[in-house]
Amino acid sequence: MLSTKEISSFNQEVPHSENESALETFGGINALERCLDTDFKNGLSSKVIKSRQDSHGRNEFEAPESDTWFQMFLESFEDTTVIVLIVAAIVSLIVGIYDDPKKGWIEGVAILAAVIVVAVVTATNNYNKELQFRKLNAVKDDVEIAVMRDGVSASIDVKELVVGDIVVLNAGDKVPADGVMVSGSDVTVNESSLTGEPDDVKKEGPSNPHADHFLLSGTSLASGYAHMVVVAVGAQSRWGKTKAKLAAETVETPLQEKLNVLAGQIGNGGMFAAGATFVAMLTLWFLYPETRAPDVTLVEYVIKAFIMAVTIIVVAVPEGLPLAVTLSLAYSTQKMMLDNNLIRVLAACETMGNATNICSDKTGTLTQNRMTVVASWVAGAFNPIGAPTAADLPPPLVKFIAEGVSVNSTANLLSSPDGSVTVLGNKTEGALLMMISDSLGADYVVLRALFDSARGDQLLTFSSLRKRMTVLLLNGPSGKSGISYTKGAAEVVVGLSTKYVTLNGKVETLTDKIKASILEAISNMAKGSLRTIALAHKEVKKSSSAELQADYLESELVLDAVYGIKDPLRPDVHDAVKACQKAGIFVRMVTGDNIDTAKAIAKECGILTENGVAMEGPVFRKLTPKQLDAVLPKLQVLARSSPDDKHTLVTRLNGHALPTNEEEWKAIHPDGNWATDRDNFLPGYQEEWQSSRVTGEVVGVTGDGTNDGPALKAADVGLSMGLCGTEVAKEASDIVIMDDNFSSIVKSVMWGRSVFDNIQKFLQFQLTVNVVALTLTFVSAVQGSEPPLNAVMMLWVNLIMDTMGALALGTEPPSAELLNRRPYKRNASLISNKMVRHILIQFVFQMLLLSYLLLVGAPHFDVAMHSREHITIIFNAFVFCQVFNEVNARSIDDTMNVFKGLFRNPLFVSIIVFTVCAQYVIVEYGGDFVRTTHLTEDQWIKCILLGSLSLPLGGLMRLLPVPNSENDFAPVPELVQHDAQQQLEKENKSRKAPYTGSFFFWAAVVLVLPVVTYQRFEEHWVPYLGEDWKNFAQVAKRF
């Protein structure tokens, strides 16, 4: 067994020829079977896996070290305003101790303590956020790979791979470790992730000693299939060594960038208010000496004014905004995993919420990807139900079908102890393998062993462009003759066929009449939503290199059979499609199936509607950009499409990958003429595209194949399939749909909209607190009175509205109602008209309430004006205004019932409870630190009741008709509007009364609270309200 050091001698970052020479010193590729104590055919024994991991390491990479909680705690003090506040607090502490050794230290220490509390909470949140993202990143690396273990094909976690394992790779697979190719065919590898070179590199097995045999981790198979023996895993691999040098950088999402700009604007406003407050307080000191406190010196007053100004800045700078979106994204991405959405790119979470178009694959996404052969055309006869058995067919035809299916596929069947069969690999191939086993009694494992790459047998793998695959079996080492088997899209293979096998086993000419009957059978199967696959063969008489190419092997074929394969529609896909249409999202199906199959399935799942258009790829490609733009508003199905067609469709919708100049256009159309053809060739060019529309669409695209990579990259959100998708597709995507289910895509839309709405809820809450706190402090300073909220109180309010508010409102779960509105535009304002209404009305209410308490409220609580009790009551009422307004902020539209779904977010409830409990402790035990004092039970009840008036006010203000701006919403095509309107009308007819238990509870609360509050303050308020009000109140009481 070679050691790690010995293996590394032929696995260096040098030209492959040098590694080949180093490998030859150990005996070459074939000697690796002995040197690594493995079996190229049967793989390793499961008994040696543990010892291999101990001796050569696990296939894992060490995660880069992240900051500790203590480091994040220290980083909390790097903010300039916090540093200034700490300095000011220390100065206040020194001056206070100098003037009053007994109590002068309290204010300075209290401010420092409050700053530390804020830092602890901030560090804890950041640390938890980091843990969540590291957990999500770990999930990204969870990949299943196919290996040979104990002589059978098995699927294992990539982390369980060890040196000596035999890995089975197909086109689109990512190479999971460094290895040497021991067998395979038609293999090319994309090594751009390691070398940066875009051209695919050809790889070959031991049959060609001068070829490149090395497969490197991090690269991907562009074509072909291969078996490789693993020589290096984890940190010892090429990718492991490269990854160790890389540090992942956090990229801000568009919403985070937008919020950072808004936070800066709010912060600038706060700095202006702070400066104005500082100047006003100093001006009052000098202009109105009679207002000075007799025991306060100028130095103390200046320090006090400076601390207040800095505190205003701390409160005004909304550090909670970036925190809110980060928390919301972290929470959402974690929860989305439970809904089978693995977020690979954080920005995709929010972008998906405002998608206007979804271009979906059919197989596995709209259907269940559980393929079964249910119809067939064999030996001149159409069988609408099932496939004929071996007894019904001539032996030669049975041989052709069984051999062709077995050797011309890469899928495997895994049998479970309970008798069920699982397909490992392509599900269509799996259906054919099960058919030859059940109907023809063939063992595909035995037949597949006929393929021998060592004697020159070839496998021309499937491509979306050719829509077929072919295998060549030579009859012996001399290679004088052989047979090729071709499998592919039915109409394509039939078009390449000139003969067919009859029921008596003879090969006869495929006449126009017979071909017409076959095409009619294909059409009938397609109209029944069946995928049609044709099998054919060809006797190869010669073996010159020219005659072993695809053009020769796939011409003048003998047609063996056509099979109709049923892939049932997912049971929830119809409702999911309707939900998208109701949400203003145009759903399109892009598939390689023929037009009849595509239309049948699209109608069944609700994508193709009465006025919709279905088009085939060849027709699509001939359109001009202007013609395609005319079709796009109604194009719902694109059949017989290639990956290039999908890429063209995406770029025409969102404009991202369009050429911007002549040079880029010529790169796409090398034979075209820029001057005469640029307006006639798809996909068009940027200037032309921009002149034809106001804005581009936000497009989500699904893809599972290697060739889908460009379309996934060009989309605003690329959605790859977790079950049937290739590793190349997953690497190119932003979100991996773990269960390949379209309804999971709908959930990603809901979560994306939830993130945006949660940020708006937090903004609505925070801006109200911000404006009230700053206005109150500034007005008090201008009036020459002591600001009712001191520095420590302001810092507590800051903690409530920033960190606590972000946690509470940033983690609201999504609801189905989010799909009842249209998507927002890319440049939509974060602050809607309805939010402005909420902020202004709550601001006016809180300012009036605090003015009442400050100017005339003290007697109503049986306390002296401007006493510590009075200030404590103002502070307490202000905090409870925020507590109840936080509940109000759960609705950013006209939904009055703010209690709806309250207990679906236990974190929100916990934070409200924590805030109330903490407020009680601060008031009752804050003492000289916070400058609060004990309140009586009556005073507590009155403070809570006054703050709770935010709830009924929230209901009243939502009666004011304030529409949101139409400019914030993306335009919706007329076809989608029509479908969405029909869906809403249907739902409205069947919908039950919207009144729930939470609604009646909310209604009772908002009706009772004003009454109870009035009763508490009646004796104090009646003199201000007059006799008429008194008489009205008495009548109301009797009523």
Give 905-916 as a DSSP string.
-HHHHHHHHHHH
Contacts (Cβ under 8 Å, ≥6 apart) of 166? 38, 39, 40, 41, 42, 43, 44, 147, 148, 182, 227, 228, 229, 230
Indicate the pairing of strand 557-566 with strand 497-501.
parallel
Q: Which parts of 317-362 fold into alpha helices (H)? A: 320-338, 346-352
| Whole-number Å distance between alpha carbons of 117 and 91 | 20
Residue 361 designated active-site: yes
Identify the helix (H) or strand (E) that includes residue 155: strand 152-157
Q: Are 755 and 349 in contact (CB under 8 A)?
A: yes
Peptide bond before residue 683 is cis, with ω within 30 degrees of 0? yes
The structure tokens listed for 865 are 């004006």
Side chain identity at 241, as an amino acid letter? K
Q: Which residues contact 935 (CB under 8 A, 6 or more apart)?
A: 869, 872, 873, 876, 923, 924, 943
The secondary element (H helix, E strand) that includes residue 762 is: helix 742-783
Tokens 């006799």 correspond to 1027
Q: What is the DSSP string of 606-649?
A: T-S-TT-EEEEHHHHHT--HHHHHHHGGGEEEEES--HHHHHHH
Q: What is d(CA 104, CA 94) in angstroms, rounded to the nearest whole number?
A: 8
User: What's the rounded Cα separation, in Å, for the pair 704 and 363?
Assistant: 10
Structure tokens that stand for 375 in this block: 């119809």
Those residues whose C-beta lies under 8 Å from the C-beta of residue 848, and which sit 6 or more positions away, are none
Beta-carbon neighbour count of residue 30 at 10 Å? 11
- Residue 544: alpha-carbon gap to chain centroid: 51
- 373-399 burial code (b ≥16 CB/10 A, e <16): bbbbbbbeebbeeebbebebbbeebbb
- The Cα 663–Cα 660 span in angstroms is 8
Task: Return the closest-CA partner of residue 730 out of 761, 703, 699, 757.
Answer: 703
Are 662 and 640 within 8 A, CB to CB? no
Q: Which of 178, 186, 361, 593 is labelled catalytic?
A: 361
Active site positions, annotated: 361
